[in-house]
Structure 1
Amino acid sequence: MRSGIKQVAEHAGVSIATVSHVINNTRYVSDEIKRKVYEAMEELDYRPNSAARSLRSQKSNTIGLIVPVLPSDTSNFFFMMVAQGIQFTLKQHGYHLLLSNNTTEQIEDEQEQIKLFNSKLIDGLFIASIAEDVSYLNEIVRSNYPVVFIDRKPAGYNGDSVLADGLGGAYEAVKTLIAKGHRRIGLLTGELGITTSNERYEGYQKALADHGIPWDPSIVKVAESNFESGYEGVKALLAEHDITALFIANNVLTMGAMRYIQERRIQIPAELAVIGFDDYDWTQITSPPLTVIRQPSYEIGVKAAEIMLKRIENPSAGSKEYRLPTALIMRDSC
């Protein structure tokens, strides 16, 4: 049986009226009492129903953001730029951003973070979910507020999504290598299953097919997205196969791969042409500077925030998918 406001009041050791005032922001309540009420709501998985929410005199003007960032993962640069774009846009409309990192990349922690946001009575949720299927949102969110997916488009829940054109970016990278005369083009990519990895993998395949180059799975390495996998992945590719070019489908794998390439003093692009994915400052100071696919990270944040604001004002509108173009940044590595 689902807990109600009475159970929350008993758990927090306060009156039902106090819980109501915290939820509806109708009277001053000390921060300490608010904390107890929020903790009770989280522990009991209590969520005010949509009818109760509509009776509130004010919105919380707070929107949650959940991103999967590991301490050693350079994807935090990407997500922090997305967050900056979101925050800048929301601030102009009087909204605040509440950020939470899923540092474990476990679905259970993702769910707990959303429940915590629910106790804060957020008006919307941005999320880059680690899951391919987010059907659990139907139970946790229950359409009480809009959800906008960023960087990836999972299945199982009806929400808007804003992401970069990963397929188009990967296609452009491989097409560029082909135009320079390469036919043996290796691929080092993160684990498949999320939109970003899947689409870059598909872009690689499509570019080869469109230019009459046979598909060779032996020169494709799918690895965990971390520095060590990038190092070991390119080491295996170069030891086992004769490739003249390499497309690396994410930033952290690119870093690991470049460490190995520079250790072995492999001449770029004379011995191996390289194109990486995502443009960070470090890609300009390698020897030679890296050609990369740049993602519009800040612009993704701005667009996601604009969509969120529209959804808050018009929650009945149908969900859409928004794709922002990537850009090929030509340097000297191919």
Structure 2
Amino acid sequence: MTTIKKVAQLANVSTATVSHVINETRFVSEETRTRVLKAMEELKYIPNPAAQSLRSQKTKTIGLLIPILEDETNNIFFMRVARGIEHVFRESGYHIMLANTNESLDYEKEQIKYFKSRQVDGLIIAPTAGNHEFIANLVNEDCPVVFIDRKPEGIKGDFVLNNGFQGCYDAVKMLIDKGHRKIGILSGLLNLSPAQERLEGYRQAMTDHGLPLDENLILIGESSFESGYEMTRKLYEQFDITALFVASNAIAMGSIGYIQDKGIKVPEELAIIGFDNYDWGALSNPPLSVINQSAYELGAKAAEVLLKKLNKPSNRFKEYRLPTQLVIRNSF
């Protein structure tokens, strides 16, 4: 059986030096570190994770909480986010514990308690709807938290978010520049910050360009195909819109379904821009113009922010905004 003592003998160093290399508890010269790592590899020595945790008081484990619902199209988005997080932490020697909140605040609380019981070093959370003041009582400086994609209610913290406001503003401005004046918007429920910010981007763009805010042209509903289909029918048939901005991917699928069923010519009879860049949009007829938001990059940035807090704890918080991009195709 290979022991730390045998590694030390082969590398011609003390067992304490080997321990410092493994646990990163003290500076070791690059030459010595290389010699120790080479000895470990030659002897096929694998450090005991439990022993490492006891010595360093770190588990090298990160808890990741994301909301996944059955048949939800945003599942793809959050799995891309998870890939970005996992890539950054893997390069730094961390492991990820992944859990699903099912968009339930109660289940989110349970999962955070579980992660704490497993002594994770930090948490990355895409928060559900609802007040999150409880976070302050469940985590502390020993377990820093970074929130992604959504801003939780009732708490200060580090947030890594896409700039949905600017993306929607740019999309509506593009429609206005094309000469449209009766522009409708379809939004998901406003219980989460991304939907609120996207709607505000629409409102601000209309106001800045001197167009009236007709509340009849603002429809809010469930993020589903059925909801998108019905809301598009209502706006097109009852209010004679010439352009439509859809702030939810699932709703956009319903909009396209209605447009195709009714044989509406796009963009001649109705211009349309969606939010989020999924493969189906490029395959629609005509291909759907969309606001692309970063997913992998969002996760990678969140991981970098948390790593920085793990290496240098701080009570100072910051909000990071990633830019969105307008992907122009043939739908407006």
Asked if TM exceeds 0.5, the reply is: yes
In the alignment, is residue 236 of structure 1 matched against residue 268 of structure 2? no
Give the Cα separation in 2 of the matches to 1:269 and 1:193. Answer: 32
Is there any run of 5+ residues in structure 2 with no aligned partner, and where? 1-48
Q: Does 1:25 align with 2:35?
A: no
- Mapped to 1, the partners of 2:216 and 2:232 lie a distance apart of 13
Pairwise CA RMSD: 1.6
Output one character per residue of 1:154-185: Cα deviation in whole Å (capped at 9) or x when no partner. 23233210011000000000000001000000
Deviation readout 1:238-271 (Å, 9 max, x if unpaired): 2221100000001111111111111111111011
In structure 2, how many angstroms separate the alpha carbons of the residues matched to 1:59 and 1:284? 45
Question: Which of 263, 271, 275 is the matching residue for 1:277?
Answer: 275
TM-score, structure 2 length as denominator? 0.82
- TM-superposed deviation, 1:141: 1.6
The equivalent position to 1:200 in structure 2, one of 191, 198, 201, is 198
8 Å CA contact retained: 1:167, 1:201: yes
Distance in 1 separating the partners of 2:156 and 2:312? 15
8 Å CA contact 2:141–2:313 kept in 1: the answer is: no
Q: One-letter code of the match for 1:213?
A: L
- The residue aligned with 1:71 is 70
1:99 is aligned to: 98
CA drift at 1:285: 0.5
Matches of residues 206-217 of structure 1 in structure 2 within 5 Å?
206-217=204-215
Offset, 1:286? 0.2
SS of 2:56 mapped into structure 1: coil
For residues 205 and 132 of structure 1, what CA distance do their matches in structure 2 show? 24
Q: 2:68, 2:267 → 1: CA distance?
A: 32
Match of residue 8 from structure 1? none
| Alignment correspondent of 2:59 | 60
Equivalent positions of 1:43-58 (< 5 A) are 57-58=56-57
**2:83 counterpart residue number:** 84
Q: Is the 8 A contact 2:105 2:130 kept in 1?
A: no
Name the CA distance, whole Å, in 1 between partners of 2:138 and 2:283.
Answer: 46
| Aligned partner of residue 284 in structure 2, secondary structure | coil
Q: How does the TM-score come out when normalised to structure 1?
A: 0.82
* Residue type of the alignment partner of 2:180: H
Measure the CA separation in 2 of the matches of 1:266 and 1:136.
Answer: 49
* 2-structure distance, mates of 1:230, 1:101: 26
Matches within 5 A, 1:157-176: 157-176=155-174
Which structure has the larger Rg over C-alpha atoms?
Answer: 2
Match of 2:33 in 1: none
1:132 shift after superposition: 4.2
Compared with structure 1, are the counterparts of its residues 131 and 143 closer, same or farther at alpha carbon in structure 2 (3 Å cutoff)? farther
Q: Deviations along 1:174-207, whole A, 9 cap, x unmatched?
A: 0000010000000000111321001100000000
Contact 1:85 1:301 in 2 (8 A): yes
Conserved? CA contact 1:311–1:317, under 8 Å: no
Residue by residue over 1:130-149, the C-alpha shift from the partner in whole angstroms, topping out at 9 and shown as x without a partner, is 12421011122234311100
Aligned to 1:37: none
8 Å contact from structure 1 (residues 25, 58) kept in 2? no
Structure 1: tracts of 5 or more residues without a match: 1-23, 28-52
Residues 268 and 333 in structure 1, CA contact (< 8 A), matched pair in contact too = yes
Kept after mapping to 1: 8 A contact 2:286/2:330: yes
Aligned partner letter, 1:65? L
Cα deviation, 1:280-327, whole Å, max 9, x if unaligned, reads 111110000000000011111111000000011111241100001000
Name the CA distance, whole Å, in 2 between partners of 1:158 and 1:217: 32
Does the 8 Å contact 1:102/1:110 carry over to 2? yes
Write the mapping of 1:1-334 to structure 2, written as runs, cut at 5 A: 25-26=50-51, 57-103=56-102, 105-334=103-332
User: Is the 8 Å Cα contact of residues 188 and 221 (structure 2) preserved in structure 1?
Assistant: yes
Q: Deviations over 1:72-97 (max 9, x none)?
A: 11001111111111110111100111
Instruction: Kindly provide the amino acid, as one letter, of the partner of residue 76 in structure 1.
Output: N
Deviates more, 1:278-287 or 1:149-158: 149-158
